[in-house]
Amino acid sequence: MYRLDRLSDTISHITSSIPYPDTQFQFASVTNGNVALLQIFKNQGWGIHANTPGDIYLALAAGFTPDRIVYSGSNLDRDEMRQVLAWGIHTINLDSLSQLELLGDIYSAEDAKPLLGLRLNFPALTGESRIGVHPDQFGQAIEIARQAGLTLDGIHFYRGTGTNATQAFTDAIDPILSIASQLPDWSYLDFGGGFGYPYHHDKAAFDWVEFGQILSEKLSKLDQKIQLTIEPGRAAIAESAVLLARVVSTKWQGQKQIIGVDTTVANLSVPSVHGGYREIVGWNNSDELFTTDVCGNTTYSRDYLGRNCQLPRLKIDDIISILDVGAYGYAMSSHFLHRPRPAEALLDNSHHRLIRGREDYSILLTGQIF
């Protein structure tokens, strides 16, 4: 279940935190591709940051025009690259010279001319990564683009997944500006994503106001006008959603409460990729709390939605809330052990509506031939 008020407040907070006048915000829809939610970002004036052609497809379905979509991905084949150009995507950031060569080979004067950028690979700033082009290769890239009748207009910087340390971003600003200035046709800076969210609510959170102020001041001092793109994903949507689960089983192992619920860890982000901790709260008013493991409805030995949580004594049919699941929740859910996926609903004050139907077992046969 998504709360419209929380999502809208977060969008407004991020937007107002960056005073630089030529800034566009693109929601990283890799974190959540529900079309009804994408339309909320559209209504708030944001665009879409797409990692894959599928992200673009969903954005177009949500009503975004191609000029409001930025593609920053990797490893497209020829047909996919042709499709991205056919959609008329306004800005394309590529992560290798070979992808740039492929685009140049396909691009023709009949295509809408995109703003073209390079995803940056510079270990001192980006860490070790398979993605991006090192500044030492910029000369080759400029020549490849020139031969295709294109220019390299921008740099895409990605700090890393889920970084909450504000200084990790602010310290990178000056080096990024220096690197970007090596492009003779530089006109935009895509400061990318990787902005974190504090799933442990008592831990450090990314400071959007501090980041926005420092970045805006530095850009304003440049001798040329640069368009700024910011691509929040989890930071924009994580807090807005909870996964509601019903208790279907209870037992005790010594002093520990073990509860089973009617959902599974397969409906949360993959713990090894995007972290396994989510705060869980019970909905009864008991003051006494017990150390509790919350277990999913599969036999997978690691199907824990929470371990060593402090929860009241629960009984069958009680409801618990698993917080902060808006990012990489449904987007990374799966049919692991052949459980259909849950419904999604949007809560607007006291009104709610379904924005994705609950699956039934027939979904498991989709596409099968027998």
Whether residues 210 and 299 share a domain: the answer is no
- The radius of gyration computed from the CA coordinates of the chain, to the nearest angstrom, equals 23
Q: How does the average pLDDT of the chain come out, rounded?
A: 94
| Short-list 339, 180, 310, 313, CA closest to 252 | 313
Enter the pTM of the model: 0.95
Q: Is residue 303 part of a domain?
A: yes
Whether residues 338 and 307 share a domain: the answer is yes
Whether residues 210 and 351 share a domain: the answer is no
CATH of the domain at 352: 2.40.37.10
**Residue 335 CA to its chain's centroid (Å):** 21
Q: Is residue 366 part of a domain?
A: no
Whether residues 151 and 27 share a domain: the answer is yes
β-strands 319-323, 280-282: how paired? antiparallel
**Within 10 Å of residue 344's Cβ, how many Cβ atoms?**
20
Tokens found for residue 360: 């039934």
CATH of the domain at 26: 3.20.20.10
Whether residues 148 and 265 share a domain: the answer is no
Please give the residue range of the domain that contains residue 156.
2-238
Tokens found for residue 357: 């139907």
Q: What is the pLDDT of residues 78-110, one digit of tens each?
A: 999 999 999 999 999 999 999 999 999 999 888
Q: What is the pLDDT of residues 164-223, one digit of tens each?
A: 999 999 999 999 999 999 999 999 999 988 899 999 988 889 999 999 999 999 999 999
Band of the pLDDT at 225, cuts 50, 70, 90?
Answer: very high
Q: What is the pLDDT of residues 295-353, one digit of tens each?
A: 999 999 889 999 999 999 999 999 999 999 999 999 999 999 999 999 999 999 889 99
Q: What is the pLDDT of residues 229-262, one digit of tens each?
A: 999 999 999 999 999 999 999 999 999 999 999 9
Largest CA distance in the chain: 73
Total number of domains in the chain: 2
- Asked if 225 and 22 touch (Cβ cutoff 8 Å), the reply is yes
Where a domain ends, among 183, 216, 238? 238
Where a domain ends, among 238, 267, 300? 238
Whether residues 126 and 14 share a domain: the answer is yes
Interval 18-23 mean pLDDT = 97
**Cβ-based neighbours of 35, under 8 Å, separated by 6 or more:** 58, 61, 62, 355
Q: According to the model, what pLDDT value does residue 284 have?
A: 72
